[in-house]
Amino acid sequence: MKLIPCPICGERAEIEFAYGGQAGLVRPPPTATEAAWGAYLYSRENPKGALRERWRHIHGCGRFFNLTRDTVTDKFIP
C-alpha cells in the first residue's frame, strides 16, 4: 500500500484516495467531431514510464490534485 502525498494533508495511505486516471484531458465542446469526442472518452496514454495522473483524497480533505508517477516503479516523480 503506497503512501500518496496530498497537497493539503501530507503523506497518507493509498486506501484514503480515489484514483482519477490520466490528468490533463480537455473536455471538448459538444460540437466536437465523433473521433475527438471518442478520444476524450476512451483514448489514454497508458505509458510505461512517467504518467501525469489525478488523485483525490476522498477519505480526507476531498481535494483533487495531480501527480506524476513512474508506472514501472510506482514512485512519484517530483
Looking at beta carbons only, is 10 or 40 nearer to other proteins?
A: 40
Q: What is the DSSP string of 8-37?
A: TTEEEEGGG-EEEEES-PPPPPTT--HHHH
Return the ∠ at Cα 15 (arms to 24 and 64), rounded to 5°: 30
User: Cell 465523433 belongs to which residue?
Assistant: 34
Binding residues (CB under 8 A) for other proteins: these are 1-3, 14-15, 17-22, 27-30, 32, 34-35, 37-48, 51, 53-54, 56, 58, 62-64, 69, 71-74
